[in-house]
Amino acid sequence: ELWISLEEHQDALELIMSKYRKQMLQLLQGRKGEDAEPVLRVHQANSSEIESQIDRICEMGEVMRKAVQVDDDQFFKVQEKLAQLELENKELRELLSISKESFEVGREDLPD
């Protein structure tokens, strides 16, 4: 009888412990969901903030790219204008030297 009573007692304890474990597991799972909720919200807020900063950085990069392109275009225009002016200056100097030579030749031809 004692042996049977002991087995019944152990069976009852196992049933109680299994129900306890099941309830604790449910409680922990529910708590994990609740604990994860604030962390998830903070993570989402940080993610959206980082995403907006990345968008701003991309926009600034695009603006900088355009500024560099405009600057390069302006530089090439200035270089082209400078080359044109140098060529014009060279041609004008040649014309001036020709004019001086013809003036000196014409002067030498004149009687004193």
Q: What is the distance between the alpha carbons of residues 55 and 61, in angstroms, rounded to a whole number? A: 10
What's the whole-number mean pLDDT along residues 49-56?
Answer: 91
Predicted local distance difference test score (pLDDT) of residue 28:
80
pLDDT band at 111 (very low <50, low <70, confident <90, very high): low
Which tokens hold the place of 92? 């004008």
Query: Which residue type sits at 3?
Result: W
Q: What is the largest CA-CA distance in the chain?
A: 161
Q: What is the distance between the alpha carbons of residues 2 and 99, in angstroms, rounded to a whole number? A: 139
- Which pTM was predicted? 0.46
pLDDT for 60-92, tens place per residue?
Answer: 999 999 999 999 999 999 999 999 999 999 999
Name the residue ranges covered by the structural domains of the chain.
47-107
**Neighbouring residues of 81: CB distance < 8 A, sequence distance ≥ 6:** none
